A and B are shown apart, each in its own frame.
Chain A
């Protein structure tokens, strides 16, 4: 609202200044992305012959990307990332939505206590829990498996919180009507509440997938086998092996790791911004 009046008053020079500054800061922000993409297309000789040019004199993209995809198990890393993200998100929704429904729509002894637990869980940084979770994983004998990557995240206090907030906005009459139709409580969760709370589900899905696709800390602790590494861990292993001398393929691999989320973000910008900052705004 404020903007409309500001816009009317923004004189042409001021408008140009606005664009100039924002284009400059935007360009600075993009430099690492551009440099990464640029190096991923250059042959080693050109990379080490320092130059400003973005576009390679000799196009070496095919070689670099082929190397990144074949000499390193990058497809495997990306597959692992996908499997882990999908598993985590699926289980989180399965576990969190019913609990959120109970907190939002049912009356029962201990509800406030349970909500308190969720809020305290929201406050705990996950890295602090890593040591006991590592020991738990060790006792269960699941370290260095997909299960190790997934189990700490099967419940998300943020997910419960977000779903509860959204479920509360759905009128009680909807729930009563569903009960009169003979739906069980669990059926109400999956057939009524979750479909109606689709915006919250999408926002949470983006939050969850982005956090776990990008997570380095826990995978570093939980798995050792290359065949189980999610993208960040895999690409770090690649960097350490190459000792920084094979920049082209390393940059190609980095580009490929960043690309899926980047494309998704550009396609659904509004949802991403909401999903990733919703926790803070709400």
Chain B
């Protein structure tokens, strides 16, 4: 039995490495900028959703306010860059740390809340953050920040002529988030998180530090999401409150994990691989008309999948395993 377990973990790692290699090679064949764009976004959201999944999927603390950390990452990086000339790479780290600290600070009062109260509190706090940034003159208020263009440079993580560096960074982010999840899944933290999700009281009785488990999950999750936010800011080179802290980001982080399979290792990747291209394509095809067809398609899909496959798309694949057939 132990051998099965170790084999399964190894298999996951091998599949991930194979997928990453294939992904890394795609730009050789895909030269279309629009498609590359979609690939970058897909990888980014896969990484973000994977990070969201740590707190909400594994630890069971459903957050619909992760846009806050995304935005904080973006703003920290760009404010440091435009106001103090700090390189984005350091800004990225700083954004991650700031977000993780804020997540833990918020955790103190938030983690006492249960169920719907917690969910609404996360929406509300992100909304407060959005409004504050809207009114913060120094940070550009509603006008936002335009990242000054200094030419292509790895140092400043800025590229005008090619999207490839962004592509590889998004891939790296996605791999990092996946690997962190993979690693934590079979650690004390991973077990504690799932125990806390399933039954906090029982977890407590088994020596699990429930509160600190949630804090740990929040910190890791917020850090990774903030790094994603920093990346996004560099990628689009213009940020304003709505475009990095809007509610849609919270939603787009949660959806891939939910559709793919919440609280699973592969769910977010699978969900993002399907959802993000679909979102972009519907927007590309119908969005221009401004008549909401993209929303209709998108919403219908969400309703259908959540009704038909409550455990996510991944449950389609995992069925055979139950009967013992090792594939």
Do the two chains belong together in a single complex? no
